[in-house]
Amino acid sequence: MRKNKGAEIVSTLIGEDVVFEGNVSAPESIRVDGTLNGNCECKEQLIVGSSGSIKGDVNARSVRISGKVEGNVYADGKIELLSTGVIEGNISAKSIVIDEGACFDGRCTMTNAEIVSYSNDAV
């Protein structure tokens, strides 16, 4: 993720009133404040804002969720599920932080290995 004087630079933004149908892949950070119906992959950080929703699997270096993800979440680094966040699916990361008030329904795997994707029917 590029930084500009300490601030994170988001190269792809799905705005609050936007509904995107299909898979998204980006070489840098992505922020979702709208709805993404598809898988999301980025080489840097994925941020799901409090109004954001993803129905699909997520692969990223790090993930911060304040909204809702219905799918599996894989991070090479850290997954942060903030107090307003919801994950309905499995998570896998080196580091996992779940704030009080957050909702998580799935299996959790902490790993030192590279991102390993699960198929949707593997549980």
Question: pLDDT value at position 112?
Answer: 75
Once rounded to an integer, what is the mean pLDDT over residues 105-121?
A: 69
Say if residue 81's pLDDT is above 80.
yes
The rounded distance, in Å, linking the Cα atoms of 107 and 120 is 13
**Selection from 53, 46, 112, 47 nearest residue 88 by Cα:** 53
Per-residue pLDDT tens over the stretch 50-77: 999 999 999 999 999 999 999 999 999 9
Task: Tell me the whole-structure pTM to 2 decimals.
Answer: 0.84
Percentage of the chain modeled with pLDDT above 90: 80
Break the chain into its structural domains and give their ranges: 3-110
Work out the mean pLDDT of the chain and round it to a whole number.
Answer: 88
